[in-house]
Structure 1
Amino acid sequence: MAKRPNRGGAPLDPAGPCPCGTGQPYASCCGRLHRGEAEAATAEALMRSRFSAFAVGDTAYLLRSWHPSTRPARLRLDPGQRWTRLDILDTERGGLFDSTGTVAFRAHYRQAGRPGTLTEHSRFTRDDGRWTYLDALPD
């Protein structure tokens, strides 16, 4: 399997650790979701896979995993921003038997050599057994 470039331009080894932070290899963790071989089982799993999609620059997956009612027509990622770590702060619902859920997280990145963080409380919904990102809750 070929290495994929991430947003920072460095290659991502599919056998290396997944950017989402589970410690599993990317190919068998979020890579399966990005390739369409599996669906996220929970809202948190979708959140992790979306973070990894930002980290590897997979805009097609980000758009596919976005709810149609809030999905933008196009998505352009900043090539100078490299997503480095994800911390899950809290989850509410979003389990195997839920149809909605929220995930609070802190995503770490580097831009122009400087560290930064994005903190968000995201809403997810499950329709026909498939989780999608809906939007961010206001602060």
Structure 2
Amino acid sequence: MPPAPPCPCSSGLRYRQCCAPYHRGEAEPPDAEALMRSRYSAFALKEAAYLWKTLHPEHPDRARPEAEVVRELRAFAQSHQYPGLVVMDRRPADAHGVAQVLFFAKVFEKGKDRSFVERSDFRHDGTGWRYVSGVPRLPRELAGPPEALTLATFPA
């Protein structure tokens, strides 16, 4: 039997032990970082319904028809490749319930590098952690290597 594939989120774990239980609805990610990693994996594996499910009710796309958003997410996921993820920093929920994760998502579209760094905000909705919003930056907009950033040094 071939070995189980590694998880696309770059955790070092096998997919079945990492993001698969979240994608299958068997568990909720325990924190904002796990949710963010599971969303990256969902893009890599074209799990558009999971991406919709993990949007916080405050996310602007939640005001749009679900079928339309899922269709757009699926099309985006299918047109890109996701070779890896680096989580540089994280901050647990603050007094307002907002947790943050800073990550470098490696993304390619038809051989063109579309990678970006993002500071993402997450909030628990009573069921699980959900993606609220993000501030993306392209590597060329940064003063140094993306992997060297922290939440404190991320350009606002």
Which category describes the TM-score, using the shorter chain as reference length?
A: 0.7 to 0.9
The structure in which a higher percent of residues are helix is 2
CA contact (8 A) 1:99 1:127 kept: no
Match of 1:126 in 2: 124
Distance change in 2, residues 1:63/1:14 (3 Å): farther
Give the partner amino acid of 1:38: A
Residue aligned with 1:134, SS: strand
Does structure 1 residue 52 correspond to structure 2 residue 41?
A: yes
The structure in which a higher percent of residues are strand is 1
Rg larger for: 2
Match of 1:27 in 2: 16
Does structure 1 residue 100 correspond to structure 2 residue 98?
A: yes
How many residues end up aligned between the 2 structures?
Answer: 125
Distance change in 2, residues 1:94/1:54 (3 Å): farther
- 1:7-18 counterparts in 2 under 5 A? 15-18=4-7
CA contact (8 A) 2:122 2:133 kept: yes
Normalising by the residue count of structure 2, what TM-score does the alignment of the two structures yield? 0.72
Give the CA deviation at 1:70: 1.0
- Aligned partners of 2:3 and 2:119: how far apart in 1? 29
Following TM superposition, the consecutive aligned residue runs of length 4 or more in structure 1 with deviations greater than 6 angstroms are none
RMSD: 2.2
